[in-house]
A and B are shown apart, each in its own frame.
Chain A
Amino acid sequence: MRLGRKILFTHFLVTHRAVPRLTRRAVLPLGRGVSLLLLLLMEHKSDSSTEPSSNSFLDSSGVSSRRDFIGRLAAISAGLTVAVPLVRSPAGDAIRRDRVDPGDKPDGNNSLDCALDVNGKKVKLTIDTRTTLLDALRDRLGLMGTKKGCDHGACGACTVHVNGARVLSCLTLAVMAQNKKITTIEGLAVNNELHPVQASFIACDGFQCGYCTPGQIMSAVACIEEGHTGSDTEIREFMSGNLCRCGAYPNIVDAIKVAAAKMKGGVS
């Protein structure tokens, strides 16, 4: 039963509310027996993956992602339900909305070798010059924790740290992020121990659907490190670049205060 417990730890924790919701929706109509079957199938897949893709952070650690899980779930439920076409999840469609079309192959001048340092791991990619850091992280490196919200710098869902500063990965070209230290939500936890901000978001219920949460957490870590937690007003001002459509703001402010107190007290 390796996989059930080893769904990438931070990734799972920052989105754990979304997972049961999506899973429930998909699994419940199938009944418990099928659910069990699914989990067994997933474990089988996980245990049998012996040739991880060199560019996949998830595969190389032998861990399957929530996206893989939902994808397989969709395939299996489509197989079990007569005459229901296999469709991609709405989230999947949204993610592909602005991606560089693979059919739109660039000529030699528009593709570049790109070396990135992500969460302490160095990777080399050949990319279209148009590839944003966000798309490189998600589509090429399999780091799905960083979310694509508006894709135009208006929502903050794609926030990552570059050389320690919070930035928007949707407005950053991957080629321009070379030779810099990139940290994503997947890189926050140390040895499976949650970062204090991750822990306080869970403790304070700082989210509802969870989609904005990785961006909120990355922004909150920077907000605390920058010293902008003197008051609720200051926290709100310096977290204004991260929108939450569920309106979890009061709990997010609480989570930041709790984490800031812990981090200042040297507890991490």
Chain B
Amino acid sequence: MRPFEYGSALDVADACSKGTGQASFIAGGTTLIDLMKLEVMNPSRLVDLNNLPMRGIAMDDKELRIGTLEKMSAVAADPIVATNYPVISEALLQSASPQIRNMASIGGNLLQRTRCGYFRDTSTPCNKREPGAGCSAIHGENRMHAILGTSESCVATHPSDLAVALVALDASIRLQGAQGYRWLKLEDFYLLPGQTPDKENQLQSGEIITEIYVPRLPVARKSTYVKVRDRASYEFALTSAAVGLDLDSATIRDARVAVGGVGTRPWNLPEVRQALIGKQLGEELFRSAAKLSVEGARPLRDNGFKIQLVQSTIVRALMNLGGLA
């Protein structure tokens, strides 16, 4: 780890002014400290956000609002979230370990870096870590990598389960910077790698995600998260699916589907949603709708299995929700 200065932000404005240049914000630190030890991230100054007031979980008739300093474990266990947004609670409980969930803030969760082994290994080229260096994964060990949204520069997946659930539910985030604040749809916040995989999102220098907004939707109440992994727990997704259904007996009034483990960003699937709306529940329907999820997929040497696996993951989630499993 390289030397750095440490300081605590007094308020949001103070944080925004201190958090520019070579500084990094720190909340839970579970991604940052790990990557600083690997010297993948080398901030010269850490600005501790933990004294800021970005906390609280509250719901009104329009939306759920979560302060981004809330811990993953607190959000997962919150009765409002567990009852009205089970997909959020389930996605969090299937993330990381109890210890990490006690440490990691949900704002940081949305900003965690990819688990691509080459990104984490400073002895190998990586465009995300060092723009222009080249991508080691495209022709390397790429079993865990993305099949959707990839480019010649980067095939790394976005690792957050929470982000997949939030994108499925049309969540927005509030960003605060020195110039003021703005709202963004979380889905639009994340960028495709293109030729600039080092730029993963629209966050600007000194900007902080202060709050997450999730609209109240019937599909949110009946929602679930299915995650397929190499081991039963404490592992990143091979594939995952966040799914919500709004049913009128056996007819699908509305649906939401997003997938993880396969995309370079949390991958929303509006075309799968459209294929489900207005139809009768059934495995055949689920299978034909899930096929649409992999249109345009570009498998690599080791991850072709994800094309089938992600479809099966979507079908499993829909079957569970529809009471057909």
Interface residues of A (CB under 8 A from B): 98, 100, 104, 106-107, 109-110, 112, 128-130, 132, 151-153, 156, 159, 165-168, 171-173, 175-176, 219, 222-223, 226, 228, 236-238, 240-242
Q: Contacts A168-B99, A173-B6, A219-B99 known; A240 to B48 CB distance under 8 Å?
A: no
Contact of A165 among B29, B46, B102 (CB under 8 A): B102
Structural contact, B6 and A129, CB atoms closer than 8 A? yes
State whether A173 and B29 are in contact (beta carbons under 8 Å apart), knowing that A165-B102, A168-B103 are contacts in the complex: yes
Contact A129 B37 (CB under 8 A): no
Contact of B6 with A112 in the complex, beta carbons under 8 Å: yes
Chain A residue numbers with a CB within 8 Å of B4 are 110, 129-130
Q: Write the nearest CB–CB distance from B286 to chain A, whole angstroms.
A: 27
A82 to chain B, nearest CB (A): 41
Count: A-B pairs, CB below 8 Å: 88
Asked whether, in the complex, the Cβ of A156 is within 8 Å of the Cβ of B1, the reply is no
Interface residues of B in 204-237 (CB under 8 A from A): 232-234
Is the CB–CB distance between A168 and B3 below 8 Å? no
**CB neighbours of A107 from chain B (8 A):** 3
Given A173-B33, A222-B98, is A128 in contact with B233 using a C-beta cutoff of 8 Å? no
Q: Which of A151, A152, A171, A241 has the most CB of B within 10 A?
A: A171
B60 at the interface (CB under 8 A from A): no
15 contacts between A and B (CB under 8 A): A109-B5, A110-B3, A129-B5, A129-B46, A153-B33, A156-B99, A159-B99, A171-B103, A173-B26, A173-B29, A240-B97, A240-B232, A240-B234, A241-B97, A241-B100
Contact A176 B233 (CB under 8 A): no
Residues in A neighbouring B30, C-beta threshold 8 A:
153, 168, 171
A240 near B233: Cβ-Cβ < 8 Å: yes
Does B121 count as interface, using CB distance less than 8 angstroms? no
Q: Are A172 and B103 in contact (CB under 8 A)?
A: yes
A176 CA to B4 CA, complexed, in Å: 14
Q: Is the CB of B98 within 8 A of A153?
A: no
Inter-subunit contact A241/B234 (CB<8 Å)? yes
Give the contacting residue for A237; candidates B29, B34, B100, B233; CB below 8 A.
B233
Say yes or no: is B50 at the interface (Cβ < 8 Å to chain A): yes
Chain A residues with CB below 8 A from B33, complex form:
132, 153, 171-173
Chain A residues positioned under 8 Å from B100 (CB to CB): 153, 168, 171, 241
Q: Which 6 A-B residue pairings sit nearest by Cβ, starting from the closest?
A: A241-B97, A240-B233, A240-B234, A129-B6, A165-B102, A110-B3
B6, B98, B233: the one within 8 Å of A223 (CB): B98
Contact, CB under 8 Å: A100 / B1? yes
Closest residue to B30 on the A side, CB-wise? A171
A176 touches B29 (CB 8 A): yes
In the assembled complex, the CB of A216 is this many whole angstroms from the nearest CB of chain B, namely: 12
Q: Which of chain A's residues have a CB closer than 8 A to the CB of B34? A: 152-153, 171
- For residue A132, which residues in chain B have a CB less than 8 angstroms away from its CB? 33
Minimal beta-carbon separation of B277 from chain A (angstroms): 34
State which residues 279-312 of B face A: CB under 8 Å.
none
Q: How far is the CA of A241 from the CA of B102 in the complex (A)?
A: 12
- Contact B29–A130 (Cβ < 8 Å): no
- Asked, given contacts A167-B103, A240-B233, A240-B234, whether A156 binds B5 with beta carbons under 8 Å apart, the answer is no
